[in-house]
Structure 1
């Protein structure tokens, strides 16, 4: 029997197979951060394709801290009707849905929000400083407020009918910023030692667990490494994994990289060992190592392209779930193919516009796929040959409109 097709239960929720769509930015919400029929169309397409579980794209817990235009924001029960429809859609097809809750911290384009905040006022590298401004250091009362925002958002998601949430602690977002000594220079209880730097993550987990029922799934996405000199060490990473596991987390998704070192976008692929390339997954070696340290379920995302490679990873015991992201943007029926032993149709290469400064960033690995999602959401077929340059200029135009709208809203509220 194919390991991919085996079911697995977490708390009282049954995952009908081991394929999970990893979080990818949908960019389908309006300027107020509200979900709509496009989200339903997109997730129904994946559900019809046999997907066992979908993790949503970034859902922000604070409207003042959006990472991009078109992101969903959950601060209250304002959109309960739409969220409930979204959750019910998954149940209709037997597809588990986890809402990825996130705060971007300093990773917000200039002008999108009134200001950006972070553990410390650390600027970006010169290459990205033109796009991302230097953040303001968070006060402790603001840190405590953000923790409660995660908890309240999770509570709303459970009330809407979602099976669980994923806390985004990877890819340089706020939780990841607290974990890294490069972005966390604090001298109080939230910085310094790894015990202090992981406090923000653990406090969020405890608050979410207290705000939701015993049957609600709580997962977290964590970096195995941030691939930056002076960043979080492997020793510290293992300590974080062990601590969140001991706290009671249900599932950890293993990833890696930040906007400044975008390994999650495949930028490091050519430097991988030959043995790792043969086994497909970027982070499988780390999963095997951490498997000996934690007892919770593990998910590995990134690099899987064949049913054989996925089954081998599950058979090894290194992970319990296979995370697949980018291929789902161009083939919505991928799960059905994998379940019968067929492989990914389209090996999508790194998306390049031909503009060097743009191509060095991870941004195209987000917005090109978001353009495909809009097509799918409208009931059309995705286009694997879609022009990255065309997508980029359309994105710049949309981003400019969002910035102008944000400035207008700020003046009205002033």
Structure 2
């Protein structure tokens, strides 16, 4: 059987068909109202992306709990939506699917990675604070079992609301250190009940959530999960754990598994290098010689997991995308940042482009005289998050004007994003 091409459709286990193998990966937008309703800016942004050629668009974090945001400006579906929210969700979904592509809602709960300005005491599996300086994140409080069950049900309610609004699928965010992901990690999850201890117990919350969502949306609607290949931390969620959880998710009947990695403490998701040796995983070491961060993890999974795989992180060249498809590592190629500055990135690749533009390579984030300090892990993390703000700023520009702002400096972008967050939080207060 020949390897799939980027332009080839993919039929998922539920029967739905993606028109091609390129997905716009989830990226936080920060363009919702203060109470979490979609806006005209979100409709404009996703309409542009719908016209850009990707077979599937994933939304940024749609939070199932208004008190646990990933950042101010998240869309929120907390409980049954009122008429206004349902109407705005439907308008957003219509704009995002206007060119015949799929649009999936990424459902999430910030957990202990909720910023302190949003919630100084966020809920988590255990009262284990993030190991980051600066006081940006609060002191977490351990969830009760009843609260776990309530959040599970909130995911299901949000999934049904998305389906009713015209979204064509959902993704449950089980990666990057957010709530479901933190339950999987023995560093963050120190519970001694049915939701802690063994891997089976640590995965229980995620698997129960998948089951509740499937029951809510039915068998013919795509249900996906985003899962860390590893946390890249000593004593954290390891690749062998991820492989077992992926098998359980396949048995649970999901339609697509997206492979990613890292969390706020170890932000591999931002492409930050320099992991210590003890944080590396037991997989082939060739990823460092390629642009795509998580291909080797997907390759190691392919013989154990039957569910289609989506690999996201670092893809910039046609050669890397073709390799991932040809090797069987990926069934879907996830692309993120290029869509911020090149909204028709998918169409360019489908029309034969060999490489996507990468302006992040040229961003001068730290003055040259401090360049030697970038070798330090903490400053690498600062550098990565500063870069992220520039991409946030491009999403603001696309949503508000329909055009990118490539001339905007990193420092101007940082000021813009911080000012937007403060304005939203002042209104929230």
Shorter chain as denominator, the TM-score bin is over 0.9
In the aligned structure 2, how far is the partner of 1:365 from the partner of 1:329? 12
- Give the structure 2 partner of residue 3 of structure 1: 5
Q: Relative to structure 1, is the Cα distance of residues 216 and 2 closer, same or farther in structure 2, using a 3 angstrom cutoff?
A: closer
- Give the structure 1 partner of residue 401 of structure 2: 379
Residue 276 of structure 1, CA deviation: 2.5
The answer as to 2:40 corresponding to 1:34 is: no
In the aligned structure 1, how far is the partner of 2:413 from the partner of 2:247? 41
- Give the structure 2 partner of residue 345 of structure 1: 357
Residue 257 of structure 1, CA deviation: 0.5
- Cα deviations by residue, 1:43-70 (Å, 9 ceiling, x for unpaired): 1111111111100000000112112111
Point out the more displaced range, 388-397 or 52-61: 388-397
- Give the structure 2 partner of residue 284 of structure 1: 295
Q: Alignment RMSD, CA only?
A: 2.2
In the aligned structure 1, how far is the partner of 2:248 from the partner of 2:395? 36
In the aligned structure 1, how far is the partner of 2:364 from the partner of 2:199? 37
Q: 2:86 aligns with which of 39, 63, 80?
A: 80
- Alignment check: 8 A CA contact 2:51 2:98 kept: no
- Alignment check: 8 A CA contact 1:223 1:257 kept: yes
Alignment of 1:194-343 (within 5 A): 194-268=199-273, 275-342=286-353, 343=355
- Cα deviations by residue, 1:343-380 (Å, 9 ceiling, x for unpaired): 20225239664398776245334432221111111334
Gaps of 5+ in 2: 368-373
| 1:4 aligned counterpart, secondary structure | coil
Alignment of 1:334-413 (within 5 A): 334-342=345-353, 343-349=355-361, 353-354=365-366, 360-361=381-382, 362-406=384-428, 408=429
In the aligned structure 2, how far is the partner of 1:270 from the partner of 1:178? 22
In the aligned structure 1, how far is the partner of 2:303 from the partner of 2:385? 35
- Alignment check: 8 A CA contact 1:353 1:359 kept: no
| 1:229 aligned counterpart, secondary structure | coil
In the aligned structure 1, how far is the partner of 2:21 from the partner of 2:275? 27
Q: 1:102 aligns with which of 108, 112, 115?
A: 108
Q: Relative to structure 1, is the Cα distance of residues 358 and 115 closer, same or farther in structure 2, using a 3 angstrom cutoff?
A: farther
Q: How many residues of Structure 1 are paired with residues of Structure 2 in the alignment? A: 406
Q: Relative to structure 1, is the Cα distance of residues 2 and 348 closer, same or farther in structure 2, using a 3 angstrom cutoff?
A: farther
- Give the structure 1 partner of residue 172 of structure 2: 167
- Cα deviations by residue, 1:167-202 (Å, 9 ceiling, x for unpaired): 111111001100000100000000000000000000
Q: Relative to structure 1, is the Cα distance of residues 157 and 351 closer, same or farther in structure 2, using a 3 angstrom cutoff?
A: farther
Q: Relative to structure 1, is the Cα distance of residues 164 and 16 closer, same or farther in structure 2, using a 3 angstrom cutoff?
A: same
Q: Relative to structure 1, is the Cα distance of residues 293 and 351 closer, same or farther in structure 2, using a 3 angstrom cutoff?
A: farther
- Alignment check: 8 A CA contact 2:360 2:387 kept: no
- Give the structure 2 partner of residue 137 of structure 1: 142
What is the TM-score of this pair, normalised by structure 1?
0.92
| 1:258 aligned counterpart, secondary structure | coil
In the aligned structure 1, how far is the partner of 2:69 from the partner of 2:363? 24
Q: 1:12 aligns with which of 10, 15, 37?
A: 15
Point out the more displaced range, 256-265 or 209-218: 209-218
Point out the more displaced range, 7-16 or 379-388: 379-388
Gaps of 5+ in 1: 409-414
- Alignment check: 8 A CA contact 1:352 1:359 kept: no
In the aligned structure 1, how far is the partner of 2:120 from the partner of 2:157? 23
In the aligned structure 2, how far is the partner of 1:281 from the partner of 1:360? 19
In the aligned structure 2, how far is the partner of 1:287 from the partner of 1:327? 22
- Give the structure 2 partner of residue 57 of structure 1: 60
| 2:133 aligned counterpart, secondary structure | helix
| 1:341 aligned counterpart, secondary structure | coil
| 1:349 aligned counterpart, secondary structure | helix
What is the TM-score of this pair, normalised by structure 2?
0.89
- Alignment check: 8 A CA contact 2:124 2:182 kept: yes
In the aligned structure 2, how far is the partner of 1:208 from the partner of 1:299? 20
Q: Relative to structure 1, is the Cα distance of residues 363 and 346 closer, same or farther in structure 2, using a 3 angstrom cutoff?
A: closer
